[in-house]
Structure 1
Amino acid sequence: MEHLVRVLDERDRRTLAWLREHVGDAELSRAVMKCGTTTKPYLSAVCRQLGIAVPQLGAARRRQSTASAQQSLAAIRGMLKPPGSGQTSLVR
C-alpha cells in the first residue's frame, strides 16, 4: 500500500498498518482515489476521507519517576555541583 500513499517515517508506517487492519485494503484504496490528487496523498488526508481520526500509535511513555531515573539525576546533580564547596549548584 505504500505505493498509494506518502509514507515519510516509522509513524506513517504504523498508521498505514493500523488502517489496513481496521479498514481493509479495498476501502483504503477507494479513499485514496477519492482524495483526487495527482500525487500520493498524505495519510492524514486519507484518514479525513475515511472520517477517521489519525490514531496515536506512539509508544506509551512513563510519567512516573523510577528509582534508576532518580539515581541518574542525583549523579548528574553531583557532577554539576561546584567542586570543593558545600554549596548547592545553581542548576536544579
Structure 2
Amino acid sequence: MEHLIRVHNDYDRQVLAWLRARIGDAALQSAATRLADARKPYLSTICRSLGIRPPSRRAFARESARKSARAHRAVGDLYLARIRAILASPAGAQH
C-alpha cells in the first residue's frame, strides 16, 4: 500500500497496518485512489475522509509492550520447563 499512500515513519506504518486490518485493502486502495491528486495522499487525510480516528502513538506503544511481555513470559516458561525436566531426571538429581 505504500505505493499509494505517503508513509514517513514507524507510526505511519503502524496506522497503515491498523487501517488495513480494520477496513481491508480494497477499501483503503479505493480511498487512496479517490484522494490522490498529483501526489500520494497522507494517512491522516485518508483517515479523515473515512471518518476514522487511528490509535495514538501511546496506544501502539502499549500494545507493543504487551506483546513483548507475552513473548518474554513464553521464553521464561520454556526455560523453567527445561530446568524442571533436568532436575526431575535421575542424572539431574546427582548434580
**Partners of 2:55 and 2:41 in 1: CA distance:** 17
Percent of matched pairs sharing the same residue? 50
Q: TM-score, normalised by structure 1?
A: 0.60
Match of 1:53 in 2: 53
Q: For structure 2, which runs of at least 5 residues remain unmatched after alignment?
A: 63-95
Cα distance, 1:36 vs structure 2:
3.9
SS class of match (2:60): coil
Q: TM-score, normalised by structure 2?
A: 0.58
Q: For structure 1, which runs of at least 5 residues remain unmatched after alignment?
A: 61-92
Greater Rg, structure 1 or structure 2? 1
**Partners of 2:24 and 2:60 in 1: CA distance:** 21
In terms of fraction of residues, the more helix-rich structure is 2
SS class of match (2:39): coil
CA RMSD of aligned residues (A): 1.2
- Residue correspondences, number: 60
